[in-house]
C-alpha cells in the first residue's frame, strides 16, 4: 500500500466553505489481481501536476464561470467559446435502455458527404434559419451514430487490438473496485459502467438525440457557440435564458425528453456503490460524508467531437436547496477520453487534471458541489474499439451529467 497526503494551505472552496483549509486525499483503490491491496497515491497541486503525473503546460489563463456565465468573450484565450464554429465490471447491468424510451419521434435524416447528419429539423417547410408561425426555429440534426453510406468498406479493428481490449476488460473486472477520492465530496469510479451499459447508453442517446428536443449546438444571440453538441433531459438548460432551467427549449419550443428510467437506476446504483466504498475506506472523518441518494430531474448530455472542449465553470444554476444540500452531480463518460480540469478557483493554472475514460463515473457533491471544472481536450481515438464497433458512434465523447434541480 502506498499513501501520500498533502495539505493545501490557504485555499478555499468558494461559496461553500470560505475558510476551509482543504485537506485533500487521493486514494486509489486498485486491488491487484492477486492481493486485493489498497493503494493510495497523490499529487501536488501547487506543482500543477495532473493525476496522471504529467504536467500540463498547454493550458493558459482563461475566464470562466457558471454554466450561465459562458458569455461570449472577445479574448482569444477563451477556451469555451468561439464565434466561427457553427473497465469494465458488471456493477449495473441494464437491458438496452433504448427500449425504455417512449414516444420518441425521430426526425428523418439525410447524410452529408462526411457522414454527419446536418439535415435541418423539419418543423414545417422552413429552412434552418427560419422560424415557424409560433416562433419555433429549425436547427440541424446531429446524429452521434451516423451510418456511413459510402463506398468505403469499413474494416474491422485488427484482431490483436480486439484481443487486447478483451484482456483489459477482464483484468478490470477481476480488479473489482477502482475508486479514487479526488477531494471531499468528489469521487471518481474508474471503468464503472460495463461495456454493455455503455453501448446501451450510446444507443439511447442516439435515439433521443435525433428526435424532438435532441442535440443542437448551444450558443448566444451574438452567434458565439459552445464547442459541443448538447441535449437536455428532464428540464432544459440554456446558457442565456433567465432562469437557466425551463420546461421548454426556448428556440424551438421542444420539450426535453424524460430521463430514461434505466439512467436513473444507474445513477442511484453509482451513488450507493460509491457510498459503500467511502464508508468502508475513509473512517469517520467529517471530510468523508457519503452522498445522499438522489432522483435526478435534469440530465445534460454533451457530445464532444475531437476538437470539443468546455471552459472552467461551476454547475450552479440548480435550485438554492439543491446547492445548499450539496446534492451530487453524477457524470458518465463514454467514448474518447477527456482531459478534465477541476479546482477551487476559476484559474486554469491552479486546477488539477484527471483523464476521464470511457465507463468512468465522476460524482461531485457536498463540499465539492461548486467545484470549478471543465474539459480542455478530447484524446483522439481513445474510445474502446468494441464500443465504436457496436454502436457506430462517431469519433468523440459522450458525457451525461445528472443533477437535481
Ligand atoms: O464533459 C464533462 O465531463 C463535463 C460536463 C459539464 O461540466 C457540464 O455539462 O456541466
Ligand atoms: Fe459542469
Dump pLDDT digits (tens) for 273-315. 999 998 888 765 555 679 999 999 999 999 999 999 999 999 9
The overall average pLDDT reported for the chain is 72
Mean pLDDT, rounded, for 85-91: 34
Mutate to test the pocket of ligand 1, among 373, 377, 378, 397 (most ligand atoms within 8 A of CB): 373
Please indicate whether residue 298, judged by its CB atom, sits closer than 6 Å to ligand 1.
no
Q: Is the pLDDT assigned to residue 112 strictly greater than 60?
A: no
User: Would you state the pLDDT for residue 148?
Assistant: 60
- Cα separation, 112 vs 255, in Å, equals 27
Atom of ligand 1 nearest to the CA of 313: 7
What's the domain count of the chain? 1
Q: Is ipTM strictly over 0.95? A: yes
* Of residues 285 and 239, more confidently modeled: 239
- Cα separation, 140 vs 116, in Å, equals 10
Please indicate whether residue 399, judged by its CB atom, sits closer than 6 Å to ligand 1.
yes
Please indicate whether residue 207, judged by its CB atom, sits closer than 6 Å to ligand 1.
no
Nearest Cα residue to atom 4 of ligand 1: 374
Please indicate whether residue 67, judged by its CB atom, sits closer than 6 Å to ligand 1.
yes
- Residue 302, Cβ neighbours under 10 Å: how many? 23
- Cα separation, 216 vs 249, in Å, equals 11
User: Would you state the pLDDT for residue 325?
Assistant: 96
Phi-psi region of 311 (alpha: psi -120 to 50; beta: other; left: phi over 0): beta
How many residues make up the chain in this entry?
A: 405
Nearest Cα residue to atom 1 of ligand 1: 399
Say if residues 326 and 365 touch (Cβ distance below 8 Å): yes
User: Would you state the pLDDT for residue 65?
Assistant: 56
User: Would you state the pLDDT for residue 134?
Assistant: 58
Convert the chain into a string of H (helix), E (strand) and C (coil).
CCCCEEEECCCCECCCECCCCEEEECEECCCCCCCCCCEECCCCCCCCECCCCCECCCCCCCCCEEHHHCCCCCCCCCCCEECCCCCCCCCCCCCCHHHHCCCCCECCCCCCCCCCCCCECCCCCCCCCCECCCCCECCECCCCCCCCCCCCCCCCCCHHHHHHHHHHHHHHHHHCCCEEEEECCEEEECCCCCHHHHHHHHHHHHHHHCECCCCECCECCCCCEECCEEEEECCEECCCCCCCEECCCCCCCCCCCCCCHHHHHHHHHHHHHHHHHHHHHCCCCHHHCCCCCCCCCEEEEEEECCCCCEEEEECCCCCHHHHHHCCCEEEEEEECCEEEEEECCCCHHHCEEEEECCCCEEEECHHHCCCEEEEEEECCCCCCHHHHHHHCCCCCEEEEEEECC
Q: Is the pLDDT assigned to residue 362 strictly greater than 80?
A: yes
User: Would you state the pLDDT for residue 139?
Assistant: 80
Cα 99 versus chain centre, distance: 23
Say if residues 361 and 402 touch (Cβ distance below 8 Å): no
Mutate to test the pocket of ligand 1, among 68, 310, 318, 330 (most ligand atoms within 8 A of CB): 310
User: Would you state the pLDDT for residue 221?
Assistant: 85
* Of residues 205 and 10, more confidently modeled: 205
Cα 316 versus chain centre, distance: 16
Ligand nearest to the CA of 298: 1
Mean pLDDT, rounded, for 20-28: 36
Which of these, 224, 212, 242, lies nearest to 122 by C-alpha position?
A: 212
Atom of ligand 1 nearest to the CA of 331: 3
- Cα separation, 234 vs 249, in Å, equals 11
Structural domain for 398, as ranges: 5-403
- Cα separation, 45 vs 338, in Å, equals 19
Instruction: Give me the residues paired with residue 400 across strands.
Output: 301, 332
Ligand nearest to the CA of 302: 1
CATH at residue 196: 2.60.120.590
Atom of ligand 1 nearest to the CA of 333: 3
Q: pLDDT, tens digit, for every residue of 177-227?
A: 699 999 999 999 999 999 999 999 999 999 999 999 999 999 988 889 999
Amino acid at each position: 500500500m502506498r499513501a501520500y497526503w498533502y495539505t493545501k494551505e490557504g485555499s478555499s472552496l468558494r461559496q461553500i466553505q470560505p475558510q476551509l483549509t482543504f485537506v485533500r486525499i487521493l486514494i486509489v483503490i486498485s486491488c491487484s489481481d492477486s492481493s486485493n491491496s489498497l493503494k493510495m497515491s497523490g499529487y501536488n497541486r501547487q506543482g500543477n501536476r495532473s493525476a496522471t503525473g504529467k504536467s500540463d503546460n498547454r493550458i493558459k489563463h482563461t475566464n470562466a464561470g457558471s454554466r450561465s456565465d459562458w458569455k461570449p468573450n472577445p479574448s482569444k484565450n477563451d477556451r469555451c467559446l468561439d464565434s466561427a464554429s457553427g473497465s469494465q465490471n458488471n456493477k449495473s447491468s441494464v437491458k438496452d435502455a433504448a427500449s425504455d424510451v417512449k414516444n420518441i419521434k425521430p426526425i428523418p435524416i439525410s447524410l452529408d458527404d462526411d457522414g454527419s447528419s446536418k439535415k435541418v429539423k423539419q418543423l414545417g417547410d422552413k429552412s434552418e434559419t427560419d422560424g415557424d408561425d409560433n416562433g419555433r426555429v429549425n436547427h440541424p440534426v446531429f446524429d452521434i451514430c451516423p451510418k456511413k453510406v459510402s463506398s468505403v468498406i469499413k474494416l474491422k479493428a485488427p484482431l490483436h487490438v480486439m484481443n487486447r481490449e478483451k484482456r483489459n476488460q477482464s483484468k478490470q473486472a477481476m480488479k473489482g473496485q477502482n475508486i479514487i477520492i479526488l477531494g471531499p465530496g468528489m469521487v471518481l469510479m474508474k471503468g464503472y459502467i460495463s461495456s454493455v451499459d455503455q453501448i446501451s447508453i450510446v444507443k439511447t442517446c442516439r435515439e433521443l438525440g435525433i428526435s424532438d428536443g435532441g442535440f443542437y449546438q448551444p450558443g448566444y444571440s451574438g452567434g458565439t457557440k459552445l464547442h459541443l453538441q448538447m441535449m437536455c433531459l428532464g428540464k432544459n438548460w440554456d446558457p442565456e435564458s433567465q432562469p437557466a432551467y425551463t420546461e421548454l427549449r426556448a428556440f424551438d419550443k421542444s420539450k426535453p425528453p424524460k430521463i430514461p428510467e434505466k439512467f436513473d437506476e444507474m445513477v442511484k446504483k453509482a451513488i450507493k456503490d460509491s457510498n459503500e466504498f467511502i464508508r468502508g475506506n475513509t473512517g469517520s472523518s467529517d471530510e468523508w460524508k457519503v452522498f445522499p441518494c438522489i432522483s435526478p430531474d435534469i440530465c445534460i448530455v454533451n457530445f464532444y467531437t475531437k476538437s470539443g472542449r468546455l471552459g472552467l465553470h461551476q454547475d450552479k444554476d440548480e435550485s438554492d436547496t439543491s446547492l445548499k444540500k450539496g446534492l451530487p452531480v453524477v457524470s458518465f463518460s463514454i467514448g474518447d477520453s477527456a482531459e478534465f480540469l477541476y479546482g477551487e478557483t476559476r484559474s486554469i493554472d491552479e486546477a488539477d487534471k484527471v483523464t476521464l475514460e470511457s465507463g468512468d463515473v465522476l460524482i461531485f457533491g457536498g463540499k465539492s458541489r461548486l467545484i470549478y471544472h471543465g474539459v480542455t481536450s478530447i484524446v483522439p481515438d481513445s474510445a474502446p474499439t468494441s464500443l465504436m464497433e457496436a454502436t457506430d458512434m462517431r469519433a468523440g465523447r459522450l458525457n451525461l451529467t445528472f443533477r437535481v434541480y
